[in-house]
């Protein structure tokens, strides 16, 4: 009897404690909340901004690079070129006459662009292979240079001549449209760039060596030189 009573008391105690605990558990709200907080909702929300940052970076890079590059290239180039009045052209940030040069590449062979003008360079020694010259300085000498495809070669003949200051030389016998004549060095521009016709004469008033060539066949040896002596 004593034993039974003890058991009942123990059971009652357990029930009592359970009665205390169970209500406490069933009414405790933090458990579901804790689950929500630790769950994928927060993680998802946190991961969201990462995707946004990616989108922002992409948009910034694309838009900025595109606009900046396009605007700079287009506007600067356009303004510089378009800012020059008719008859002028852009050069080194300013405007110069369209008839002037800006780069040596705009000049004919043998010339460099200096202060807007193509300036002929002096001839070096032995220009176009001429180290000795046929003397045609006598008053009665025939100062004619025949040019063209002659005897199986592209030539100026004679190739190397010397004349007196003030004398004239005549290029003849060929077609300048096939063999464009260009002076490529000398003290002054004396042999005009000739691209049509069959005969042309030039008076040489300044002493010095003059080099010239056929623009088409000069690599095949079609070139020559004139030495003008006092
Ligand atoms: Cu030629």
CATH assignment of the domain containing 141 = 2.60.40.420
Instruction: Work out the angle at residue 20's Cα, subtended by the Cα atoms of residues 15 and 24, and round it to the nearest 5 degrees.
Output: 135
pLDDT tops 80 at residue 155: yes
pLDDT, average across residues 143-155: 97
pLDDT tops 90 at residue 101: yes
Return the structure tokens found at 29. Answer: 């709200």
Percent of the chain with pLDDT over 70: 64
How many helices (H) and strands (E) in the chain?
3, 13
| pLDDT number for residue 119 | 96
Return the structure tokens found at 118. Answer: 């193509």
Domain boundary among 120, 144, 170: 120
The domain containing residue 99 runs over which residues? Answer: 84-120
Return the structure tokens found at 228. Answer: 């003008």
- Residue 99 sits in the same domain as residue 187: no
Domain boundary among 120, 142, 164: 120
Question: What's the number of domains the chain is made of?
Answer: 2
- Residue 91 sits in the same domain as residue 136: no
Interval between CA 111 and ligand 1 midpoint (Å): 20
Interval between CA 204 and ligand 1 midpoint (Å): 23
- Residue 162 sits in the same domain as residue 205: yes
Sign of CA dihedral 121, 122, 126, 129: positive
- Residue 159 sits in the same domain as residue 210: yes
Strands (E), 128-198: 134-135, 144-150, 153-157, 160-164, 168-172, 181-185
- Residue 166 sits in the same domain as residue 209: yes
- Residue 92 sits in the same domain as residue 144: no
pLDDT in tens, 43-76: 444 444 444 443 343 334 333 433 343 333 333 4
pLDDT tops 60 at residue 18: no
pLDDT tops 70 at residue 183: yes
Interval between CA 223 and ligand 1 midpoint (Å): 9
pTM score, whole prediction: 0.63
In a domain, 12, yes or no: no
| pLDDT number for residue 82 | 64
Interval between CA 183 and ligand 1 midpoint (Å): 13
Interval between CA 211 and ligand 1 midpoint (Å): 15
pLDDT tops 60 at residue 122: yes
Percent of the chain with pLDDT over 90: 63
Domain boundary among 120, 145, 172: 120
Instruction: Note the Cα 220 to chain centre separation in Å.
Output: 32
pLDDT tops 70 at residue 218: yes
Interval between CA 142 and ligand 1 midpoint (Å): 22
- Residue 135 sits in the same domain as residue 166: yes
| pLDDT number for residue 83 | 83
pLDDT tops 70 at residue 12: no
- Residue 167 sits in the same domain as residue 202: yes
- Residue 143 sits in the same domain as residue 96: no
| DSSP string covering 91-133 | ETTEEEETTS-SSGGGSPTTEEEETTEEEEPPPPTTGGG-SS-
Lowest mean pLDDT among 86-100, 174-188, 201-215: 86-100
pLDDT in tens, 23-32: 443 334 444 4
Distance CA 85, CA 23 (A): 94
Interval between CA 77 and ligand 1 midpoint (Å): 40
């Amino acid at each position: 009897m004593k034993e039974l009573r003890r058991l009942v008391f123990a059971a009652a105690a357990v029930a009592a404690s359970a009665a205390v605990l169970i209500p406490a558990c069933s009414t405790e709200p933090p458990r579901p909340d804790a689950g929500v907080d630790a769950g994928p909702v927060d993680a998802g929300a946190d991961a969201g901004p990462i995707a946004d940052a990616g989108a922002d970076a992409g948009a910034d890079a694309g838009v900025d690079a595109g606009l900046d590059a396009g605007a700079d290239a287009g506007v600067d180039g356009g303004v510089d070129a378009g800012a020059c009045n008719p008859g002028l052209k852009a050069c080194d940030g300013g405007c110069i006459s369209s008839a002037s040069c800006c780069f040596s590449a705009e000049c004919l062979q043998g010339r460099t662009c200096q202060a807007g003008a193509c300036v002929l360079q002096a001839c070096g020694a032995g220009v176009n292979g001429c180290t000795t010259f046929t003397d045609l300085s006598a008053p009665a000498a025939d100062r004619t240079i025949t040019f063209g495809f002659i005897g199986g070669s592209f030539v100026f003949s004679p190739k190397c001549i010397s004349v007196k200051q003030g004398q004239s030389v005549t290029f003849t016998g060929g077609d300048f449209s096939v063999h464009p004549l260009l002076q490529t060095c000398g003290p002054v521009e004396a042999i005009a760039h000739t691209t049509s016709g069959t005969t042309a004469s030039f008076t040489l008033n300044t002493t010095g060596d003059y080099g010239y060539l056929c623009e088409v066949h000069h690599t095949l040896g079609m070139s020559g030189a004139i030495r003008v002596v006092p």
